[in-house]
């Protein structure tokens, strides 16, 4: 059986003070696992964007990470308004952020595109009125097919 480690963190909607906690903890784990620094950086940046999205756009959520020798997989699941048009949300610069959020330096509409850029795989599913789930995967070695 190949080894695996899993961790889970809760995220509060609206609490920007704590935004970044989960990504920071995941980073510490990856450092302890001797994961390549470039991959850590990409994982953390992508997770951070997802975490901030939960804080900024949803009510509450959990971030789950599992890591084996091949890859790190992060699932960000929230209860929130959901995303009506995912394709549109993925566009660079598209944002529905309130002026309040913009004042805090977020809301450039770059979060989701940035996640996609940094992850090897990204899947989003969302149900309006219920919530959103984003899954990202980063592989430790370049796989042949990519």
Ligand X SMILES: Nc1ncnc2c1ncn2[C@@H]1O[C@H](COP(=O)(O)OP(=O)(O)OP(=O)(O)O)[C@@H](O)[C@H]1O
Q: Which residues contact Mg ion (rule: CB under 5 A)?
A: 53, 111
CB 74 within 8 A of CB 136: yes
Q: What is the dihedral of CA 5, 26, 33, 117, to 10 degrees?
A: 110
Q: Which helix (H) or strand (E) holds 24?
A: helix 21-32
Structure tokens at 67: 């890591």
Q: Does 47 bind ligand X (CB under 6 A)?
A: no
Q: Tell me, yes or no, if 102 is annotated catalytic.
A: yes
CB 30 within 8 A of CB 63: no
Q: Does 119 bind ligand X (CB under 6 A)?
A: no
125 forms beta bridges with 133
Residues 89-108 that bind ligand X (CB under 6 A): 89, 94-97, 106-108
Cα angle vertex 87, ends 108, 74, to 5°?
75
Among the listed ranges 53-61, 63-71, 78-86, 93-101, the one in contact with another protein (CB under 8 A) is 63-71
In the complex, least distance from residue 125 CB atom to another protein, rounded to whole angstroms: 26
Kindly write out the interface string for residues 18-37 of this chain, putting x where it contacts another protein by CB under 8 A and - elsewhere: --x--xx--xxx-xxxxx-x
Count, in order, helices (H) and strands (E) of the chain. Answer: 5, 5
CB 49 within 8 A of CB 111: yes
Task: Compare residues 53 and 132 and give the one whose CB is closer to Mg ion.
Answer: 53
Partner from another protein, Mg ion, ligand X, none contacting 77, C-beta within 5 to 8 A by type: none
Q: Does 4 bind another protein (CB under 8 A)?
A: yes
Catalytic residue IDs: 49, 53, 102
Residues at the contact surface with another protein, assessed by CB under 8 A: 2-5, 7, 20, 23-24, 27-29, 31-35, 37, 40-41, 44-45, 48, 67-69, 140
């Amino acid at each position: 059986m190949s080894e695996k480690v899993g961790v889970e963190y809760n995220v509060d909607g609206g609490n920007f003070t704590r935004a970044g906690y989960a990504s920071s903890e995941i980073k510490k784990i990856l450092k302890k696992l001797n994961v390549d620094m470039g991959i850590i950086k990409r994982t953390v940046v992508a997770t951070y964007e997802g975490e901030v999205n939960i804080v900024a756009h949803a009510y509450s959520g959990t971030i789950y990470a599992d890591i084996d020798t091949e890859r790190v997989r992060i699932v960000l699941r929230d209860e929130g308004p959901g995303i009506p048009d995912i394709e549109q949300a993925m566009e660079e610069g598209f944002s529905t952020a309130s002026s309040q959020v913009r004042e805090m330096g977020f809301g450039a509409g770059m979060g989701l595109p940035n996640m996609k850029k940094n992850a090897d795989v990204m899947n989003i599913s969302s149900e309006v009125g219920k919530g959103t789930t984003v899954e990202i995967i980063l592989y430790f070695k370049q796989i042949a097919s990519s």
